[in-house]
Amino acid sequence: MSHQVKIAVIIFHVKLDIPYILTAYLTDSYVYIVDQTELRDPLPKGVQITRDLVALILLSPERVETTPGFVAFVSQLLASRNINIVEFISCSTNTVIVLDSRDALEAFRLLHRFT
């Protein structure tokens, strides 16, 4: 497991030309997970931005793709400690969990017990 600090989540209805770590296109908007220290230009009016987040990155063995309940287990584990997940992306063997920085240490400790 690794982590990255100084993360921001940006949501906007049109595609932005910004450096990002991960992006997802939803039916009505784009979601960007970015290193907030790399944002330079002012963002367009109407952009929704949440700053000072932390991304926990879980690297799992390939069997995670066929293991029922993996996502449920991780989310329930964090919810049991009242830790809110801001963004959750699970793709192949990588799982990225974006949290408020105040919850990061507790979440890291909880998840580290199962790695």
pTM score, whole prediction: 0.87
Q: What is the pLDDT of residues 43-95, one digit of tens each?
A: 999 999 999 999 999 988 888 888 899 899 999 999 999 999 999 998 888 89
Percentage with pLDDT > 70 across the chain = 99
- Residue 44 and residue 98: Cα distance in Å, rounded? 23
Its CATH architecture, for the domain 2-112, is 2-Layer Sandwich (3.30)
Tokens for 8, please give them: 């921001």
Alpha carbon distance 62, 50 (integer Å): 32
Phi, psi (degrees; rounded to nearest 5) at 64:
-60, -30
What is the pLDDT, as a whole number, of residue 115? Answer: 64
